[in-house]
Amino acid sequence: MVVVRDRAVNGILTKSNLPVADYSVNPYLGCAHNCRYCYASFMKRFSHHAEPWGEFVDVKYWPPISNPARYAGKELFLGSVTDPYQPLEATCGRTRALLEQLQGSGCRISIATKSDLVLRDLELIRSFPQARVAWSINTLDEQFRQDMDNAVSIERRLAAMQAFHEAGVRTTCFISPIFPEITDLAAIIAAAKDYCQLIWLENLNLRGGYKKTILDYIAGRYPQLLPLYREIYCYGDRSYWSDLDQDIGALCRRLGLPYLRNDDSLIRAFDAPPLVVNYFFHEQIVASASRRRRPVR
């Protein structure tokens, strides 16, 4: 059961330090997708909620945006700490309200979601210059997906990505977070590469309260992987990611895909195929490990 409250806010656009945007926009506080690995759970301390993260959503209401044209040429990122198309959007429509207020302003928008509800707003989104939409996909295994989040199926996400791509909107497959030895990168890339301009990869980075949650999950469901997860997340061994970096590079060469590492400028620059694959790390990882190689699954 998700606790829903209305929240009046003074404004909805926040200046961003993210390399991909000038402003971040989150029409909701909290997210009913309740992803086990949600990095945004730190937002709970600002929310004054007793409920666990993932079990509450505040619906934001803000004054009409005055002078939307002031954001002409600016990049707005929707979904940095909540999914703007989580289920409540179907009835509350706060993301759509924001897009309608900004339509014609000349701003660029970038949307991150795990939903296909975004299809409802396809025509509105495509009216923005250089709009792009990213779907988070870190597995093709529906059982694992259901273990990790309450969002729509991977099949529905890929179908939405295809629809936007065919409508001429730039799309991204955000393979995030990569679970070591569980996320099948090669299979996801094969499933998505014809429907997106960019595949953006991000490693699983465990911190805060959900570190124990994920390690307990691995111990229960994938006990054979627990030693590896302890090496990475308890003892700081980076060699898995360095090896995987090399394997991804080899995979991209076989597929004829450009491959860049840690290049934030790419996120703004990509426009059209050929597809670019960017391996994005939370921290710079030096590919100097000589430990055993693991193939991309």
Can you tell me the mean pLDDT for 79-87?
94
Residue in 203, 109, 201 with CA at minimum distance from that of residue 164:
109
In this structure, are residues 283 and 35 in contact, taking their beta carbons and an 8 Å threshold? no
Which range is least confidently modeled, 95-99, 141-145, 267-271?
267-271
Residue in 144, 68, 153 with CA at minimum distance from that of residue 102:
68
pLDDT band at 74 (very low <50, low <70, confident <90, very high): very high
pLDDT band at 288 (very low <50, low <70, confident <90, very high): very low
pLDDT score for 222: 98
Residue with more model confidence, 66 or 98 = 98
Residue in 276, 272, 284, 96 with CA at minimum distance from that of residue 205:
284
Can you tell me the mean pLDDT for 30-49?
78
pLDDT at 287 over 50: no
pLDDT band at 17 (very low <50, low <70, confident <90, very high): confident
pLDDT in tens, 86-95: 999 999 999 9
Residue with more model confidence, 276 or 237 = 237
pLDDT at 85 over 60: yes
Residue in 124, 96, 101, 110 with CA at minimum distance from that of residue 21:
110
Can you tell me the mean pLDDT for 129-151?
96
pLDDT score for 262: 63
In this structure, are residues 232 and 203 in contact, taking their beta carbons and an 8 Å threshold? no
pLDDT score for 51: 82
pLDDT in tens, 163-206: 999 999 999 999 999 999 999 999 999 999 999 999 999 999 88
pLDDT at 20 over 90: no
pLDDT at 54 over 90: no
pLDDT score for 55: 86
Quickly count helices (H) and strands (E) in the chain: 10, 12
Element (H, E) at 14: strand 13-15
